[in-house]
Amino acid sequence: MRARLNVITHLLNMIDYEDLTPQPIVLPPRQDEGGYVRPPLSDQTFIPEIY
């Protein structure tokens, strides 16, 4: 396990790194809900939780 981490660290250190963090986005204030009505649960699709 430690050998794999050493290899991964070595490979990542070989690549030049540049901070690509984007600038924060300025969002306008939220609008009123506008009368949105959520559909009933029977019409919605859910992914089952396996884990």
Q: Where are the domains of the chain?
A: 2-43
- pLDDT value for 27: 95
Buried b (16+ CB within 10 A) or exposed e, 20-34: eeeeeeeeeeeeeee
Q: What are the Cα distances from residue 29, in Å, to 14, 33, 36?
A: 44, 12, 18
Structure tokens at 37: 């009505």
- pLDDT value for 50: 84
8-state DSSP, 35? S
- pLDDT value for 9: 93
Structure tokens at 38: 């959520």
Provide the residue-wise pLDDT of the chain in tens; the chain has 51 residues: 889 999 999 999 999 989 999 999 999 998 887 788 889 998 988 888 888
